[in-house]
Structure 1
Amino acid sequence: MPSAIEDPKPTGGFTVDSFDASTASADKIVRSIARNGGCFLRGLVDRKSLDTMVKEVKPYLEADVPWEGDFFPPETRRVNGLPSKSPSYTEKVLGHPLFVETSNQFLTTRTSTWIGDKEEHHVSLPQLNSTTVLAIGPGARAQSLHRDDSLHHTKLPKITADQYTMDRDTALGIFLAATETTVANGATRFIPGSHLDNSSEGPGDESKTVYAVMEPGDAFLMLASCFHGGSANTTDQTRMLFGSFMCRGYLRQEENQFLANPIEEVKKMPENIQRMIGYSVSSPYCGWVDLKDPIGLVRDVKVGYADL
């Protein structure tokens, strides 16, 4: 359904596009993100499913305590390890075909190597990098603008939009609005086109930012190389956001999925989610256990010694 929310105005030659999640194609979404750094998916999750997600994470939010450092304001409460804590979110968002295909297009790595006189071709699919619920309470200050790909030590040169290639980025994020998200209550602000800038330079002028204003159930997709940050909550209401990143399959995950999600809970998950979490091999041979595909640890499948 078309959203009544007005799309952000163009800034610096970049326009943040909105797509109806029920009719959008992954190809259009990918082209938009490659050009601008991010886009909206309106109506990604229905109200009933969203209510279930909030119910699943509520006990964990209530048990959280204030952050003691500078990155999160003390008014923020968090939940991590969402695959085991919110099966609804995992199914409806992380497993949504549009998000899966968009992640695959940006983050799949294809290489070839030689073993003797035989050329081997390898495909490494994306994996889950991090999961978070953020409930930003009244009075929370604005978060500093930052790039989430810094944990992977990226060094990116400045390019133009028509020079963008799918081997540039290491991670892609999705932010789902669980409540109405406005400029006043702290909507994420980001700089369109900053994924094309030199990663050794700072964000510069805050006037280049646009705000990810959303209705409950809307989502915002963004490359991790974009400068972004939460804004100040100047209202008397709490803003709740579900956020996750996918990253390339051969990189270390930001959130340790193997400890964040108890293995007994992982065993109950569908195979595609188990593999997304990291119970899989990144071709050619990254992530094995006893030289075998780790899917055999969480599924009743036979895995033996073989070329991975």
Structure 2
Amino acid sequence: MSETNVSADVKLTTLPNTASVEEAVEVIYRDGGVIIEGLFDDETIAGLRADLDRTFNKEVSFGEEAEFLGAQTRRAGKLFARSKHMVDIALNPLYYGIAKNILQKTIDIWIGQTRQTIVPDIQIGVTQAIQIHPGQGAQPLHRDDMVFLWRHPDYNREGRVQIMVAVSDFTKENGGTLVIPESHKWDDERMPLNEEAISTEMTAGSALIWIGSTYHGGGNNSSTAPRTGLTMAYDLANLRQEENQYLSLPLATLKELPEEIQRLLGWDSGDNYMGYVEIDGQFTNPHTLLQGDHEATDAVGIAAPK
């Protein structure tokens, strides 16, 4: 691929929230990411904004590492413990469907003389709210699958499908996420350049969905107000979670979540046996520990963070 710069008038493709999974996936495979307009309703965004304002104002401070995390940026994790609206984000049919479509590519393996087809499980790998304040410079461009030491290009498999929900409007001036279109097709030798990136511009409630191999980063906020976004990633379940979800949620909170979310947070094991636990002498699915008053629950040993 030639190293020509992206034209100033190039924009990421925006699809309506009525788009099909297949339409969105086609754009993502072509460009590396897509904007979905109005993916979340006003009530969900208002609830998220209230939860995140409380978190940012009372529980987190600005970053100490200036270059990557940002000295004028506030970040908050463990979002399933902080907002009930995370369930709406994770189980949004379009985002969830895109993640499953891209990540759950079947794999055939031999077990003895039996040919078995495995559908990989997916899991929630990271949650983070990001509030970029005025004066924050652009974040270095990077691929989020760097946490897995992923190599590129791998046209057969992606490790991550990520979403950035605009909790406030995203503009070029206030630090809308920078994306280099088609960079998911690059090898690992090509260096990303700032002039190749374009800004994600979208209204609150819209969302950017991209894959782990796409170069991106937080933008420069030259406006007079902060920009707030919420990101979450679905990852292949055979990869380690970037954010340790087992220690991020109090056990009582975890038990109140829908079973599908519990499993997506890592309390599950798939056909390839990843994540099993031994209970009462039997190798079994860890979700058993969350059912009823199983005596082994107390042995999990998770602290209940405040």
**TM-score, structure 2 length as denominator?**
0.87
* Alpha-carbon distance between aligned partners in 1 of 2:77 and 2:149, rounded to the nearest angstrom: 23
Q: What is the deviation of 1:101?
A: 0.9
Which residue in 2 is equivalent to 1:27?
22
Please list every run of at least 4 consecutive aligned residues from structure 1 whose deviation after the TM superposition is greater than 3 angstroms.
Answer: none
1:234 aligns with 2:212: no
Query: How many residues align structurally?
Result: 283
Which residue in 2 is equivalent to 1:78?
75
Deviations 1:188-219 (A, max 9, x none): 11100000000232113x33211110101010
* Alpha-carbon distance between aligned partners in 1 of 2:82 and 2:103, rounded to the nearest angstrom: 26
1:66 to 52, 58, 62: 62
Q: Secondary structure at the match of 1:66?
A: coil
**TM-score, structure 1 length as denominator?**
0.87
Deviations 1:254-296 (A, max 9, x none): 1111111122111111111111111111321100111211111
2:124 to 107, 123, 128: 128
Q: CA RMSD in A?
A: 2.0
Q: Secondary structure at the match of 2:28?
A: helix
Q: Is the 8 A contact 1:147 1:225 kept in 2?
A: yes
Q: What is the deviation of 1:154?
A: 1.2
Identity %: 28
Question: Where in structure 1 are there 5+ consecutive unaligned residues?
Answer: 1-9, 158-163, 303-308
Q: Secondary structure at the match of 1:87?
A: coil
* Alpha-carbon distance between aligned partners in 2 of 1:181 and 1:195, rounded to the nearest angstrom: 23
Q: Secondary structure at the match of 2:96?
A: helix
Amino acid at match of 1:262: P
Deviations 1:104-130 (A, max 9, x none): 011114223333332332221211110
Which residue in 2 is equivalent to 1:42?
37
Q: Is the 8 A contact 1:11 1:192 kept in 2?
A: no
Q: Secondary structure at the match of 2:69?
A: coil
Distance 1:15 1:216, change over 3 A: closer
1:186 aligns with 2:175: yes
Aligned pairs for 1:1-308 (under 5 A) are 11=7, 16-21=12-17, 23-62=18-57, 63-69=59-65, 70-88=67-85, 90-157=86-153, 165=155, 167-204=156-193, 206-290=194-278, 291-300=283-292
